[in-house]
Chain A
Amino acid sequence: MTVDLFLLQLFTGLALGSIFVLVALGLSLIFGLLTIVNFAHGQFFMLGAYVGAFVLGMTGNFWLSLIAVPLAVGAVGMLCERFLVRPLYGRGIDYPLLLTYGLGLILLETVRILAGTQGIPFNTPPVLSGAADLGFFFFPKYRLFLIAITAIILVALWLFLERTSYGLIIRAGARDQEIVQVLGVDVGRVWLVVFGVGVAIAGLAGVLAAPIRGVFPEMGVPVLVEAFVVTVVGGMGSLLGAVVAGLAVGVTVSFTSFFYPEMATLSMFLLMALVLVFRPRGLFGRAGLLG
């Protein structure tokens, strides 16, 4: 394998992994604070792609859809948290699990009814089509953009968590919810925001993935599986884990599809099994999060 081919596969893997990172981040954020495994996460991803396609169709402006999607999907997520998930807090992990699973099915069927069972087109915006010359190799501009925008979202999220009072509450709440309440925080409101943010990032990932993966009702199904693999590899509830594992899974899939294409999908599960053998809590998993 030559250097340029290696770099090409690496970048392809990073672009693929960027989507994994974004979806897993939201899943991990929600799990880390609310101890809810959001089985509807893949459907919020799908919803993001559809909302994006709709906004793009109405305005012809891809950038506008990148702003509208997280707002719209986040709002839907907050409504779901407020009226469906909230009554189930403190009832054991299986209740919200069943609820979000059912919610996912409802979202899926609703989109099928409203937008049809066939997919709808989503063109790569013209400025981002074609390939860029990276010196060693040519690389699709859109995939470069994916890596860059994921980096921007990560930095923004990091600044939000590390530099704002809200972020401080979220970091503390992930470790000890009770003390945060004792110090005057209405954790119900924090959970609402966290659920909204987590789901909004999934929606954004959906519209970002649309030019590559296409837009169709079932697009969220494999994504949920991929996001689970990433969160398990990275460690449930760990954001750093989601980033590292997302990129690692992307790169693994990319290299496997180069050498043994038929093993590509399987490779992520093999990676997961391997990690679990040596680190049952995942790469960055903390003890006690589930307890």
Chain B
Amino acid sequence: MLTVKDLNAWYGRSHILQGIGLEIAAGEAVCMIGRNGAGKTTTLRSIMGLVQRRSGTVLFEGTDIIALPTHRRFAMGLAYVPEERRIVGGLSVLENIRLGLVASPNLKREGEIIDRVAETFPRLKERLSQQADTLSGGEQQMLAIARAMVSDPKLIMLDEPSEGIMPVLVDEMFELFARMKARGITILIVEQNVERALQLADRAYVVDQGEIVHSGDAKALLADREIQERYCSV
């Protein structure tokens, strides 16, 4: 579904991504791990078209999207939940969810979709009319995920969804990811919570200094303490 070849990205003059390669098959959950500053977020942002200076190939369902603007990538079925969640303060919870619909054909079925969100995210259901910035960190993360899901994307990229969230909510969130995966949604997840992410994922990539340094079966990596310690200890 997604093939990344020789992806390079720059911030100003710093060459951040130095030839990243990834492969994600439809329905797979793939996890990307690596220490802080390794280039995980930059990889996701490049796939979404948010990094200005980039080169390489990003094939999404066979189409090279490297030169496409972000909104066209969304239209093709790519969704991205950024690290800082990016809930729009000043809007209500419901308005934030609707924001995920405005550019989607699902806007026509708004009522039905909102009901579906309420069912999947009971915590949001009671707070639909509340200002989004009054939600707790975990609830905001749920909202960010809900907002990305309402357009029924084919591939969802999640950047450190468990960061700064209460353990009980982290459990809830990973159960949700497992259900999403069971429904056939392809997932690319970046996590510091390595164990959790590897349990969810089929395969994993380890990133260090803008390069892929290891890739393989997620369960095998889960058992490989050495690699985990070498590349993931903060």
Interface residues of A (CB under 8 A from B): 165, 168-169, 171-172, 175-176, 178-187
Judge if B102 is at the interface, Cβ distance under 8 Å. yes
- B92-105 vs A, Cβ < 8 Å mask (1 yes, 0 no): 00010011101110
Given contacts A172-B88, A175-B89, contact A186 B107 (CB under 8 A): no
Verify if B177 is at the interface (C-beta below 8 Å from A).
no
Complex Cα distance A185/B70, Å? 8
Interface string of B43-66 (1 = CB under 8 A from A): 000001010000000000000000
Bound together, the chains give a CA A182 to CA B147 distance in angstroms of: 11
The 4 A-B residue pairs whose C-beta atoms are closest, nearest first, are A184-B103, A184-B74, A179-B86, A181-B70
A171, A182, A187: the one contacting B50 at CB < 8 Å is: A182
Task: Identify A165's interface contact among B48, B74, B82, B98, CB under 8 A.
Answer: B98
Distance A181 CA – B100 CA, assembled complex (angstroms): 10
The answer to whether A184 and B90 touch across the interface, beta carbons within 8 angstroms, is no
Contact indicator A185/B86 (Cβ below 8 Å): no
Once the chains bind, are A180 and B99 in contact (CB under 8 Å)? yes
Instruction: Please determine whether B71 and A181 come into contact, CB atoms closer than 8 angstroms.
Output: yes
In the complex, residue of chain B having the shortest beta-carbon distance to the beta carbon of A178: B50
B194 lies within 8 A of chain A by Cβ: no
Report 11 cross-chain contacts, Cβ distance below 8 Å, ordered by A residue: A168-B91, A171-B88, A171-B91, A171-B95, A172-B95, A178-B50, A179-B88, A181-B74, A183-B147, A184-B75, A184-B104
Most chain B Cβ neighbours within 10 Å, of A165, A181, A185: A181
- Check B86–A178 contact: CB distance below 8 A: yes
Q: Which residues of chain B are near A179, meaning CB under 8 Å?
A: 82, 86, 88, 99
Q: Given A168-B102, A176-B86, 19 other A-B contacts at CB below 8 A?
A: A165-B102, A168-B95, A172-B95, A172-B99, A176-B88, A178-B86, A179-B82, A179-B86, A179-B99, A182-B50, A182-B70, A182-B82, A183-B102, A184-B103, A184-B104, A185-B71, A185-B103, A186-B71, A186-B103
Residues of B participating in the A interface, judged by any CB pair closer than 8 Å = 48, 50, 69-71, 74-75, 79-80, 82, 86, 88-91, 95, 98-100, 102-104, 107, 147-148, 151
A183/B91 in contact, CB under 8 A: no
- Closest Cβ of chain B: how far from A80's Cβ, in Å? 22
On whether the beta carbons of A183 and B74 are closer than 8 Å, the reply is yes
**Shortest beta-carbon distance, A273 to chain B, in Å?**
29
Which of A176, A178, A182 has the largest number of chain B CB atoms within 10 A?
Answer: A182
- Residues on the A chain within 8 Å of B69, using CB: 181, 186
Quick check: A185 and B90 within 8 Å, CB to CB? Answer: no
Instruction: Find the A residue at minimum CB distance from B147.
Output: A183
A240 to chain B, nearest CB (A): 12
A184 to B103, CA, bound (A): 5
CA distance A186 to B102 in the complex (A): 11
By the criterion CB–CB under 8 Å, are B88 and A184 in contact? Answer: no
Instruction: Determine the residue in chain A with the shortest Cβ distance to B107.
Output: A165
Q: Of all chain B residues, which has the CB nearest A173?
A: B88
| Contact A183-B50, Cβ < 8 Å, known A171-B91, A172-B88 | no
B86, B98, B151: which contacts A184 (Cβ < 8 A)?
Answer: B151
Cα separation A151 to B151 with both chains bound (whole Å): 37
* Contact B98 A168, beta carbon cutoff 8 Å: yes
Contacts of B104 in A (CB 8 A): 184
Q: Chain A contacts of B98 at CB under 8 A?
A: 165, 168
The CA-CA distance from A62 to B75 in the complex, in Å, is 45
Q: Across the interface, do A172 and B91 meet the contact criterion of CB distance under 8 Å?
A: yes
- State A182–B89 Cα separation when bound (angstroms): 16
Chain B residues within an 8 Å CB radius of A169: 99, 102
**Which has the most chain B C-beta neighbours within 10 Å: A168, A169, A179, A185?**
A179
